[in-house]
Amino acid sequence: MSVKQLGIGVVGAGSIGIRGALAHLCLPDVQDKVRLAAVCDPVPGRAQAAADKYTVARAYDDLNALLSDDAVDAVILCSPIGLHYEQGLAAVRAGKHVHFNKTMTVTAGEATEIMDEAEARGLKLVASPGQMLRPSNLRLRKMLQDGVLGRVSWAVTGAAFGSYHEKENTRTGSDVLTNVNPSWYWRKPGGGPVYDMSVYGMHTLTGLLGAAKRVSAMSGVAIHEREWNGQMFPCDADDNTLFTLDFGDNVFALVHGTFAGSVSQFGQPSVFGERGAIVGLNLNGERIAYPGSDRDNGNPIRLLPHVVDTIHAEMEEAHVFEDTMQLVRWVREGIPSNATAEHARHVVEIIEAGYRAAQTGQTQTLVTTFDAPKGE
């Protein structure tokens, strides 16, 4: 356990690297705990531009150079999901603690290898999205454990891709920090709405109900080209996916990752039982009460431990900042986080096995599990 500033290396100065890491970690209120030691990005000039704007000590075009920097104690991976395994493994082997932005990896096997190597080296891993850090979701879990719905029947969660990424403010400008190409979101490995967006609801769903046991699915590519900045890009990542999850004891859930249409609140499953329904943060139509619910303006992100009553509550991607600070606190103070690699690996296995179920037409049995956080 250490009380020094933790030196953070930001891997990727694209949209999430800027909005979720650099913009937050450069602010004065966190400098007693963390400093921006380095940033790397392969796009010519982008790392240096980010370093200049966000007061980062060093800029690199190459990941290995960043990992060789002794001032870097931990890294946050803000790179495309398909690179997380290679980069995460390299970071651990270089002796760095790691925060993975969602999704941790593309396969459960990749996650397991990184976890095993980190454990052997005494390194800490935190994986986004830390949905169960929110007091609202901890209260929902406790309510379900206490039987507020009686016997649970089924649940639904998911997200629709739409054109969200093309319109981000880091993609509509003309300089190296505002013309970030989003086309990786549309390509394998790691692209598509399930890995990118449905993962939020899947973390919440499994956080509320526990580990899933089986998955069946239908999935495919509906939109084969997308436009950005006047150019057309091929799309081969599945963008129209339905998973059916079996949680055991005849409790089921539907998860969608689609190019259009949502049937539940983003990141918040609807759960149905014999005594009614939890829809978002409402129980049978009435808003639930949770610690701080009288002052968060209906946005539980504002109550996250490192966000509450700070400037970060007013900024984009505050939940990414919180997950990063969970790693910082764990390394500096020895306080573990419930945004665990085990939970992230289970969600990754659901996705991986779900796509396999869609390809084979056969229901897949899941083998990973995790310790769900205690409800409050």
pLDDT in tens, the chain (376 residues): 556 899 999 999 999 999 999 999 999 999 999 999 999 999 999 999 999 999 999 999 999 999 999 999 999 999 999 999 999 999 999 999 999 999 999 999 999 999 999 999 999 999 999 999 999 999 999 999 999 999 999 999 999 988 878 889 999 999 999 999 999 999 999 999 999 999 999 999 999 999 999 999 999 999 999 999 999 999 999 999 999 999 999 999 999 999 999 999 999 999 999 999 999 999 999 999 999 999 999 999 999 999 999 999 999 999 999 999 999 999 999 999 999 999 999 999 999 999 999 999 999 999 999 998 887 7
Return the pLDDT at 163: 81
Return the pLDDT at 2: 54
User: Is residue 15 classed as helix, strand or coil in its secondary structure?
Assistant: helix
Return the pLDDT at 3: 61
Q: Tokens 């129980």: give the residue.
A: 283
For residue 240, give every residue at least 6 positions away whose Cβ sits within 8 Å of its Cβ, in sequence order, or none. 219, 220, 221, 222, 257, 258, 259
Distance CA 212, CA 350 (A): 8
Return the pLDDT at 66: 98
User: For residue 245, which of 150, 157, 149, 148 has the smallest C-alpha distance?
Assistant: 157
For residues 310 and 66, is the Cβ–Cβ distance under 8 A?
no
C-alpha torsion angle, residues 188, 86, 362, 158 (rounded to 10): -60
Distance CA 201, CA 343 (A): 13
Query: What is the CATH T-level fold of the domain 6-127, as seen in this structure?
Result: Rossmann fold (3.40.50)
Distance CA 160, CA 194 (A): 9
* Tokens at 74, concatenated: 């931990």
Options 3.30.360.10, 3.40.50.720, 3.40.50.1820, 3.30.565.10; CATH of 131-296+340-365: 3.30.360.10
Return the pLDDT at 177: 98
For residues 219 and 354, is the Cβ–Cβ distance under 8 A?
yes
Q: Which residues pair with 74 in a beta bridge?
A: 8, 97
For residue 174, give every residue at least 6 positions away whose Cβ sits within 8 Å of its Cβ, in sequence order, or none. none
Return the pLDDT at 376: 79
**CA 152-143-194 angle, 5° bins:** 65
Cis peptide, bond prior to residue 193, ω within 30 of zero? no
Residue range(s) of every CATH 3.40.50.720 domain in the chain: 6-127
Residue range(s) of every CATH 3.30.360.10 domain in the chain: 131-296+340-365
